[in-house]
Chain A
Amino acid sequence: EPEVTQTPSHQVTQMGQEVILRCVPISNHLYFYWYRQILGQKVEFLVSFYNNEISEKSEIFDDQFSVERPDGSNFTLKIRSTKLEDSAMYFCASSERRENIQYFGAGTRLSVL
């Protein structure tokens, strides 16, 4: 069964460093999303991506964040200069069409020290 793949599963970084979280969405899906979940809190939307551009972003998604689809398969989230408060679980999701169910990856746990 097709699945969304995220790497790495756990990333530890020093404050101020850049990190890139990687996602491989399901191959025929056209809509891509990043969400995050700070420990003990609910899942929050970060950004959605369609047709090689951002379709919507939240207030959390400031200039420190960027997304890219560098080739036909990968979808990446970059945090330019990590802060302690960026520590969270980051989930990638994809859907075939906007109105379809979203499939989630297993998540990347980011720990900023």
Chain B
Amino acid sequence: KNEVEQSPQNLTAQEGEFITINCSYSVGISALHWLQQHPGGGIVSLFMLSSGKKKHGRLIATINIQEKHSSLHITASHPRDSAVYICAVVLINDYKLSFGAGTTVTVRA
């Protein structure tokens, strides 16, 4: 059973383009995380949200609890944004993260 689905699996954009990555989940959650995994393998937490919208620099994350859906937007994309972006959820009354398969983003100069 896959609790977290991400789309698209892969995405290629030209520098400057607006990028959207989607995440859908099938269970009740207390929070949703967006993570960035660099080519070397390290993971960086970008956002944790349970409602509404958060913005950090060129990154915007939104969540719709009723629709069980979240999006990560990258504005004015840059080659350094190239990475795997991972959606992960925390189930209600749980500690651990349940991960999506990730979206590989490639931004070409």
Contacts and interface: CB of A to CB of B under 8 A. Distances in A.
In the complex, which range does the number of interface residues on chain A fall in? Answer: 20 to 34
B45 A48 contact: no
In the complex, which range does the number of interface residues on chain B fall in? Answer: 20 to 34
Contacts, number: 54
A99 B42 contact: no
Contacts of B33: 101-102
Interface in A17-65: 31, 33, 35, 37, 42-45, 48, 50, 55-56, 58
Q: Which of B30, B48, B88, B95 has the most CB of A within 10 A?
A: B95
B95 A103 contact: no
A104 B31 contact: no
B45 A91 contact: no
A99 B41 contact: no
Nearest to A108: B41
Nearest to A45: B96
Contacts of B95: 31, 33, 48, 50, 55-56, 98
13 contacts: A31-B95, A35-B97, A42-B86, A42-B100, A42-B102, A43-B86, A56-B95, A101-B45, A101-B48, A103-B45, A106-B42, A107-B41, A109-B41
Interface of A: 31, 33, 35, 37, 42-45, 48, 50, 55-56, 58, 89, 91, 98-107, 109
Given A101-B48, A102-B33, 18 more contacts: A33-B97, A42-B99, A42-B100, A43-B86, A43-B97, A45-B96, A48-B95, A55-B95, A56-B96, A89-B41, A101-B33, A102-B45, A104-B45, A106-B40, A106-B41, A107-B41, A107-B42, A109-B41
Interface of B: 30-31, 33, 35, 40-45, 48, 86, 88, 94-102
